[in-house]
């Protein structure tokens, strides 16, 4: 563990528990479409680069809108499961609470996704949105959303003009990007739990490292949906992960989800979503 922390440049701490994580080690989760690192085909990073090259672009003509249209096509053509793996789709159904399917009115094109809060879960939820991909409910609440485009544009303008200075805010804990350390042997990734838009903007602007808080013991962190209880997920002790202890997933399955995020098939998913090589440069 000591070597991993050293790899994250722990000696360069700005404040206690704040580390600088290389962008190729930072993951952003996108619900039903899995995770992308900040360094390769990330939908948010690509969108910000498009904004940099074309500041006047509107949402209807944006990359994020094109990705959403492609996701709709995947769903309509019964091909969305390929983003997660068809075998995993079938297994996911086994772990959905029995009362959830009863709440579904539109049962056509239902797509189950990994329990949204599986990394930081403290209990099993009975909310539909925790298990079902948004579009299947007719709500279209899946990533990337129009709101994400608007937030990315706002955050980009702010950081591009003023720089990124989270330590100048009143509460350093809430102003910094927050994440969970995913550890597999001597390898690691950082999964962002709060601040995905800021992280994407920093990566698009050329930052090589992202300042991240891995742990904070304030009770109020619960309200921010961050990982104050689980700042490290280590494959050597999966029996202690909250999702396992609370009966959300058994150990063998939680390991599948872990590796799905830890080593995402980014190029394959990018092709399915319609993200092209040129999009990586904002073209």
The tens place of each residue's pLDDT in the chain, 283 residues long, gives: 344 444 444 444 444 567 889 999 999 987 777 789 998 899 999 999 999 999 999 999 999 999 988 888 887 777 777 777 777 878 888 888 877 777 776 666 677 778 777 777 767 777 777 777 766 666 666 677 888 999 999 999 999 998 888 766 544 445 788 888 888 989 999 999 889 999 999 999 999 999 888 754 444 333 334 344 447 888 998 888 888 888 888 999 988 888 888 887 888 888 888 888 877 776 6
Domain count, the chain: 1
Whether residue 237 lies inside any domain: the answer is yes
Contacts of 11 (CB under 8 A, 6+ apart): none
As given in the structure block, the two tokens for residue 4 are: 């991993």
The pLDDT value given to residue 44: 94
The pLDDT value given to residue 108: 65
**φ and ψ of 150, to 5 deg:** -65, -40
Q: In angstroms, rounded to a whole number, what is the distance separating the alpha carbons of residues 228 and 63?
A: 34
Q: Residue 82: give the domain boundaries.
A: 2-274
Q: Work out the angle at residue 42's Cα, subtended by the Cα atoms of residues 39 and 46, and round it to the nearest 5 degrees.
A: 95
- Whether residue 210 has a cis bond before it, omega within 30° of 0: no
- Pairing between strand 187-194 and 35-37? unpaired
Whether residue 259 lies inside any domain: the answer is yes
The pLDDT value given to residue 283: 66
Whether residue 180 lies inside any domain: the answer is yes
Whether residue 283 lies inside any domain: the answer is no
The pLDDT value given to residue 134: 66
Q: In angstroms, rounded to a whole number, what is the distance separating the alpha carbons of residues 260 and 136?
A: 22
Cα→Cα distances 209→12, 25, 39, 197, Å: 11, 9, 11, 15
Whether residue 41 lies inside any domain: the answer is yes
Whether residue 280 lies inside any domain: the answer is no
Whether residue 279 lies inside any domain: the answer is no
Q: Are 273 and 70 contacting, i.e. CB atoms less than 8 angstroms apart?
A: yes
Whether residue 282 lies inside any domain: the answer is no
The pLDDT value given to residue 138: 60
Cα→Cα distances 41→35, 103, 218, Å: 10, 35, 35
Q: CA dihedral in degrees (61, 63, 67, 72; nearest 10)? A: -10
Q: Report which secondary-structure segment, H or E, holds 258.
A: helix 251-262
């Amino acid at each position: 563990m000591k070597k991993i922390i050293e790899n994250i440049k722990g000696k360069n701490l700005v404040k206690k528990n704040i580390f600088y994580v290389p962008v190729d080690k930072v993951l952003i989760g996108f619900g039903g479409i899995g995770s992308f690192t900040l360094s390769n085909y990330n939908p948010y990073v690509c969108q910000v680069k498009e904004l940099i090259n074309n500041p006047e672009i509107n949402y209807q003509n944006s990359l994020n809108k094109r990705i959403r249209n492609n996701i709709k096509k995947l769903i309509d053509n019964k091909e969305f499961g390929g983003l997660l793996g068809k075998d995993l789709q079938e297994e996911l159904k086994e772990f959905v609470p029995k009362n959830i399917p009863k709440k579904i009115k539109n049962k056509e094109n239902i797509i189950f996704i990994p329990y949204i809060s599986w990394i930081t879960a403290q209990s099993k939820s009975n909310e539909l949105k925790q298990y079902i991909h948004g579009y299947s409910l007719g709500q279209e609440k899946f990533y990337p959303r129009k709101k994400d485009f608007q937030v990315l544009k706002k955050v980009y303008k702010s950081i591009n003009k003023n720089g990124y200075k989270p330590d100048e805010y009143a509460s350093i804990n809430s102003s910094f990007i927050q994440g969970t350390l995913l550890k597999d042997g001597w390898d690691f990734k950082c999964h962002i739990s709060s601040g995905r838009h800021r992280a994407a903007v920093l990566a698009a602007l050329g930052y090589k490292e992202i300042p991240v808080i891995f742990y904070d013991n304030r009770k109020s962190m619960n309200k921010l949906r961050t990982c104050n209880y689980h700042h490290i997920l280590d494959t050597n002790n999966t029996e202690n992960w909250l999702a396992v202890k609370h009966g959300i997933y058994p150990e063998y399955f939680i390991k599948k989800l872990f590796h799905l995020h830890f080593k995402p098939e980014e190029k394959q998913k990018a092709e399915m979503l319609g993200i092209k090589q040129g999009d990586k440069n904002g073209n």
